[in-house]
Amino acid sequence: LGLLGDLRRALDAGDVELHYQPKVRFDGTVAGLEALVRWEHPERGRVSPEEFIAIAETSGLMPQLTEYVLETALAQIARWRAMGLKVPVAVNVSPRDVHSPGFAGAVAARLARHGVPPAALQLEITEHVMLEDPQRAADTLAGLTGHGVKMSLDDFGTGYSSLVHLRRLPVSELKIDRSFVARLVVDNEDAEIVRCTVDLAHSLGLLVVAEGVEDDETWERLRDLGCDAIQGWLVAAAMPPAETTAWLRLRH
């Protein structure tokens, strides 16, 4: 498969980019940014992250991709901080990463090397981290929180959303998957699922972010349901670094 080789070369050449999508509170303040990888293939054009992340996962390239994303995000966080823009940035990590021995220590070392305080980085994980070796995953996550890195549980509701995992995972934020958000206004069952998720998360002391918010009506419903922040095209799609800087400056 040519795509794997192309991805490996793109990572070596620094041709993979990170774009940043804001997470915004209902008072308009910025809660953070999520880093999302973007790859423009020289012949095929933009390749969907879903496609090349799946390739990276099955081929063993994931550690390199995550390393690249972490390095790029940390360098960007440091640049923004130097400009006075202090916004936490979330990086997506895969179950592979969480099962790799030494991952927590490696993240802490990278933070130190970039002079970035741990609280400026957030890691987004999914419930899949608990599928393979829950004990090892729990150890890694405990190591990360021990270093002061905050964790966010992504795509909540799409996996097998075990309450046991929700209780055991040391996350401080829960992200409601956009499949529940999309039809919130027209589907009563989705609205009830969102309501229960917000209440459950709050009773566990977690912040709640709703993903994929595209219109004002959905924004209002989420506010009324007590959600803490939203992410979605209503506010902004993921933007290249320079555009993100301009966007942040307008808000600070």
Site map 121..150 versus Na ion, x via CB under 5 A? ---x--------------------------
The region of 87-95, 101-109, 163-171, 201-209 touching ligand G under the rule CB under 6 A is 87-95
3-state secondary structure of 184: coil
Q: Can residue 127 be called a binding residue for ligand G (CB under 6 A)?
A: no
Q: Which of residues 147-206 bind ligand G (CB under 6 A)?
A: 154-155, 178
Judged by beta carbon distances under 5 to 8 A according to partner kind, the member of ligand G, Mn ion, Na ion, none in contact with residue 232 is ligand G
Which is nearer to Na ion, 154 or 173 (by Cβ)? 154
Q: Can residue 232 be called a binding residue for ligand G (CB under 6 A)?
A: yes
Residue choice 171, 238, 239, 248 for contact with ligand G (CB under 6 A): 238
Residue choice 31, 212, 218, 244 for contact with ligand G (CB under 6 A): 212
Residue choice 154, 173, 177, 228 for contact with Na ion (CB under 5 A): 154
Q: How far apart are CA 67 and CA 97, in angstroms?
A: 9
Contacts of 26 (CB under 8 A, 6+ apart): 219, 222, 223, 227, 228, 229, 230
CB-CB contact of 126 with 95 (8 Å)? yes
Q: How far apart are CA 155 and CA 158, in angstroms?
A: 6
Instruction: Tell me the site size for ligand G, rule CB under 6 A.
Output: 20
The H or E element that residue 99 is part of is helix 95-99
Q: Which two tokens stand for residue 160?
A: 């097998």
Shortest distance in whole angstroms from residue 173 CB to ligand G:
13
Whole-angstrom Cα Rg for the chain: 18
* CA 157 to centroid of chain Cα atoms: 16
38 phi-psi bin (left φ>0, alpha ψ -120 to 50, beta other): beta
Shortest distance in whole angstroms from residue 61 CB to ligand G:
11
Which is nearer to ligand G, 154 or 173 (by Cβ)? 154
Which is nearer to Mn ion, 49 or 226 (by Cβ)? 49
Instruction: State the sign of the Cα–Cα–Cα–Cα dihedral 210, 212, 215, 218.
Output: negative
| Binding-site ranges for ligand G (CB under 6 A) | 21, 36-37, 49-50, 53, 69, 92-94, 154-155, 178, 211-214, 232-233, 238
